Structure 1
Amino acid sequence: MLIDENMLDTLSGKARTSERLRMNLNFHSGAESKSQRLLNALEVGTVVPQHRHRATGETYIVLRGALNVFFHDEQGEISATFLLNPQEGVYGVDIPQGQWHSLEVLEQGTTIFEVKDGPYTPLCGEDIR
């Protein structure tokens, strides 16, 4: 499957009309896959609460647009901020296993390539703030 501008435009269009203002395109074969690989189109105003993945790290690579990724300490306070913007030469961030994090989308049409270890594990109440 070719990842091109048309694919990103189509996915961003779906994100703009979705209730959550984001849309995934999964490349992995299912929830049981050992590697969860996906595009995630994110629009300004989408809400991604503080959360953590206790069983895996996570990597974001920005294909277009810009966003802030926030790391949070155990009290929920911001401990680090990373501005990801390929136009400024900053392409991604690797989020360690168990690290509380959230994000803020800065530009319409922002799209990231996201990778986590599988199988897919839904977040439970103690992993979301």
Structure 2
Amino acid sequence: MTTLIDNPLLDNLCAAAAASLRRRKNHNLHLSDDAPAHRLLNAVQPDSYIAPHRHLDPTKDETFVVLRGLMGLLIFDDAGQIVKQIKVSAGTQSAGAGDTVNGAENIILGVDIPAGTWHTSLALVPDTVILEAKAGPYHPLTEAERAPWAPAENTPEAAAYLANWHAAFEV
């Protein structure tokens, strides 16, 4: 079946994310958790906390492309210190990266994260939608893949982390 990734699909997904307790919602494009390639849309609201994590399976590089809105990507070291922060834009908003290519602002549309890299992402504006791709099959994160220095979802500490991350992006 051919799936159109269009504005009505993104609008519906964003509405579902806004109504969700986790403030995000995914729409799988792959047919099962056992599929060898996972492709999904993920609509995320700015108050959604995604705990830092990594994928230890060497085949689990992760690719994000922003289709709508503005996403912040944070890369951490093993101690939980931010070593890189990247604004990723759908191209309709300046990511403010400050880089130029041939005299024009370099807008970052997507990013590929190598397996084993501690990372998280956050929506910097409402109704941010990303296209995510990584190898399947799906396996829940193991303890070794969850950041021991980061709080769990739905805790006061998680809300404080998220607020600090937003402040780091000055949005």
* TM category, shorter: over 0.9
Structure 2 counterpart of 1:84: 88
What code does the residue aligned with 2:71 have?
L
In 2: Cα distance, 1:76 partner to 1:108 partner: 26
Measured after TM superposition, the shift of residue 29 of structure 1 is 1.1
1:23 aligns with 2:41: no
In 2: Cα distance, 1:124 partner to 1:17 partner: 28
Structure 2 counterpart of 1:71: 75
What code does the residue aligned with 1:13 have?
A
Q: Please provide the CA RMSD for this pair.
A: 0.8
Higher relative CO (Cα under 8 Å, sequence separation at least 6) belongs to: 1
Structure 2 counterpart of 1:50: 52
Structure 1 counterpart of 2:159: none
**Which structure features the higher share of strand residues?**
1
* Secondary structure in 2 matching 1:111: strand
Unaligned runs of 5+ in 2: 95-106, 148-171
Q: TM-score, normalised by structure 1?
A: 0.96
In 1: Cα distance, 2:83 partner to 2:51 partner: 15
- Total equivalences in the alignment: 129
Whether contact under 8 Å (2:44, 2:122) holds in the other structure is no
Structure 1 counterpart of 2:162: none
Q: TM-score, normalised by structure 2?
A: 0.73
The correspondence for 1:6, drawn from 5, 8, 24, is 8
The correspondence for 2:140, drawn from 122, 126, 129, is 122
Measured after TM superposition, the shift of residue 126 of structure 1 is 2.1
Measured after TM superposition, the shift of residue 104 of structure 1 is 2.0
1:103 aligns with 2:95: no
Q: Could you give the per-residue CA deviations for residues 83-118 of structure 1, whole angstroms, max 9, x where no partner exists? A: 011223221110001100012211101000000101
% identical equivalent positions: 38
Structure 2 counterpart of 1:93: 111
Q: Could you give the per-residue CA deviations for residues 23-67 of structure 1, whole angstroms, max 9, x where no partner exists? A: 000011111100010000000100001100111110000001001
In 2: Cα distance, 1:93 partner to 1:70 partner: 11
